[in-house]
Amino acid sequence: MDAAIMDAAIMDGKRLSLRLKDGIEITPFDTSTVAPRYLVRLPGGGRFQVSARLADVIRALMKDSRPEAACARLRKAWGREVSPNDLEAIAARFLRPYGLLADGITVKGEVAQRQPLLVHLPLFSARSLAPLTSVGQGLFAPSLVCAILLINLGIRYALYLQAPSPSGASQVGGAMWLPVLLLLSILCHELGHVSACRRYGCAHGAIGVGIYAIMPVFYSDVTDSWRLPRRQRMAVDLAGVYFQLIFSMVLYGLAVLLHWQTAWVALKVTDGMMLLALNPILRFDGYWLFSDLIGVPNLHQRASDTIRWAVRWLFRNERGPRPDLLRLPAAEMALLVGYTLISNALLIYVFGNLLLRYAPAMAISFPRLLVQSWTLLQAGIAQRDATLIVSALKQPLAATLLLGMVILMAWRGRHWVAHSVNGLRSWAGVRNTKIRPEM
């Protein structure tokens, strides 16, 4: 055993306590990797993907934290000698840094999983959603799903192929109702995710709003769905779009019965939102769906791993452990490589356009826009014209927001760039394991 690891197992002259935190759960994790994986859930909600051997260690310590008793179980499971010193070294390297031990000390500052949302604000708690999810879980009956899909095929045929004319349509409330209908569509989407969780017996959290990358989004906390089998996880992924299809039937009925143009518009915008949600590049439903389809969690990290492995293979640099992706079945490996190439090409294209084309042009024209807006604002105040005042304020505010988004995206993207560059320079001997301790 490595001497440095052994030294880490002794804290202030005392042997490391192997007692685990209360409430730790460990379950099989359904992935496409050849070696079995397990999902560890901490009492505070943190989750880790671990190897089978580390799962054996955790289960042994959950039954009895005394070193001799745990070592006896591991010797029986592994068929080889395991000493208390070995066990303490394993705990020091893989358990204590990730907050699994009851001593309350976490060595690594990066253990917490990075949240995809910059900020988030819960709107509806799991308890308040219970009456709705109680009804919603019944909408996943296979016969009902087939009927709803067939009805929606007919609606899309009428909507796009027959091209219904909005002429003579009612303006009931006009455009005022459009954001209301779209908000209801989005809430139906999030309700679908949490209803699917209830359907398959896993807990869910709140529905709320937040900022993802540079855009405001609604979200639903379905983190506990990780413990479901892959097919059920895919059902949770698709449930949001499925509930929007149900809401589309309501919109179509309103459009036809009331001759309501706003409902036609809301129906088409909802279709656009569903297509955006199924995009696998950003962390929307399509990302999680593709991740569960090929059985590879944390796709963005795996995409970076793929690039670094390709560079290592190209230059015959064989340092470091073989990545998990090399142990994937051929079909999943092919899908992952394709995803890696497409997603990174799109990211480079978007960042290149934002940073090399739009950002400089916006920065150059911004002072001139401020001068024009100031002149327009003075004229609006002098004439007491509210329309001019609003127009004068609207343009610089919109430009400031857009420029801020570009800067924010560049700031957040620096981690991805730095990570990729470091990976190209050298292949680390031990992979970064922020959310995944392994043996």
pLDDT digit string (tens) for 145-154?
999 999 999 9
What's the pLDDT at 320? 56
Q: pTM for the complete prediction?
A: 0.75
Half-sphere exposure of residue 262: CA atoms within 13 angstroms, side-chain side: 14
Most confident of 188-192, 258-262, 275-279, 380-384: 188-192
What's the pLDDT at 343? 76
- Domain limits for position 57: 3-98
Taking 50 as the threshold, does the pLDDT of residue 159 lie above it? yes
Taking 70 as the threshold, does the pLDDT of residue 53 lie above it? yes
Taking 50 as the threshold, does the pLDDT of residue 312 lie above it? yes
* Residue 327 belongs to some domain of the structure: no
Q: Same domain, yes or no, for 205 and 132?
A: yes
Q: Same domain, yes or no, for 250 and 344?
A: no
Nearest CA-CA partner of 94 in 111, 81, 77: 111
Q: Specify the range with the lowest mean pLDDT, choosing from 55-59, 166-170, 228-232, 381-385.
A: 166-170
Q: Same domain, yes or no, for 71 and 219?
A: no
Taking 80 as the threshold, does the pLDDT of residue 438 lie above it? no
Exposure string over 417-428, b if 16+ CB within 10 A, otherwise e: eeebeebeeebe
* Residue 296 belongs to some domain of the structure: no
What is the distance of C-alpha 69 from the center of its chain?
40
Q: Specify the range with the lowest mean pLDDT, choosing from 201-215, 230-244, 418-432.
A: 418-432
Nearest CA-CA partner of 222 in 189, 255, 271, 270: 189
* Residue 372 belongs to some domain of the structure: yes
- By the 8 A CB rule, do 389 and 374 touch? no
Q: Same domain, yes or no, for 150 and 272?
A: yes
Q: Which contiguous run of DSSP H or E holds residue 85?
A: helix 84-90
Residues 439 and 435: their CA atoms lie apart, in Å, by: 14
**Last residue in a domain, options 68, 98, 128:** 98
What's the pLDDT at 65? 86
Nearest CA-CA partner of 249 in 148, 98, 321, 335: 148
**Last residue in a domain, options 98, 128, 163:** 98
Q: Same domain, yes or no, for 63 and 124?
A: no
Average pLDDT over residues 402-422: 56
* Residue 172 belongs to some domain of the structure: yes
Average pLDDT over residues 197-222: 87
What's the pLDDT at 328? 77
What's the pLDDT at 355? 67
* Residue 165 belongs to some domain of the structure: yes
More confidently predicted of 82 and 347 = 82
What's the pLDDT at 383? 84
Counting the structural domains of the chain, the total is 3
More confidently predicted of 194 and 420 = 194
Q: Same domain, yes or no, for 92 and 124?
A: no
What is the distance of C-alpha 196 from the center of its chain?
17
Residues 48 and 295: their CA atoms lie apart, in Å, by: 16
Looking at every residue in the chain, the average pLDDT score rounds to: 79
pLDDT band for position 105 (cuts 50, 70, 90) = low
Q: Same domain, yes or no, for 140 and 264?
A: yes
pLDDT band for position 270 (cuts 50, 70, 90) = very high
Q: Specify the range with the lowest mean pLDDT, choosing from 39-43, 130-134, 423-427.
A: 423-427
Taking 90 as the threshold, does the pLDDT of residue 110 lie above it? no
* Residue 218 belongs to some domain of the structure: yes
What's the pLDDT at 177? 85
* Residue 435 belongs to some domain of the structure: no
pLDDT band for position 112 (cuts 50, 70, 90) = very low
pLDDT band for position 75 (cuts 50, 70, 90) = very high
More confidently predicted of 181 and 214 = 181
Q: Same domain, yes or no, for 130 and 171?
A: yes
* Residue 22 belongs to some domain of the structure: yes
Q: Same domain, yes or no, for 82 and 147?
A: no
**Last residue in a domain, options 280, 306, 323:** 280
Taking 80 as the threshold, does the pLDDT of residue 396 lie above it? no
More confidently predicted of 415 and 92 = 92
Taking 90 as the threshold, does the pLDDT of residue 318 lie above it? no
H-state helical runs in 315-430 = 330-353, 359-383, 386-425
pLDDT digits (tens, 9 = 90+) for 332-384: 878 877 887 787 787 777 767 766 776 677 677 778 878 888 888 888 888 88
Exposure string over 89-126, b if 16+ CB within 10 A, otherwise e: bbbbbbbbbbbbbeeeebeeeebeeeebeeebeeebeb
Residues 38 and 338: their CA atoms lie apart, in Å, by: 27
Taking 70 as the threshold, does the pLDDT of residue 321 lie above it? no
The structure tokens listed for 229 are: 């089998």
pLDDT band for position 329 (cuts 50, 70, 90) = confident
Q: Same domain, yes or no, for 11 and 88?
A: yes
Q: Same domain, yes or no, for 161 and 264?
A: yes
What's the pLDDT at 42? 86
What's the pLDDT at 212? 72
Q: Same domain, yes or no, for 56 and 149?
A: no
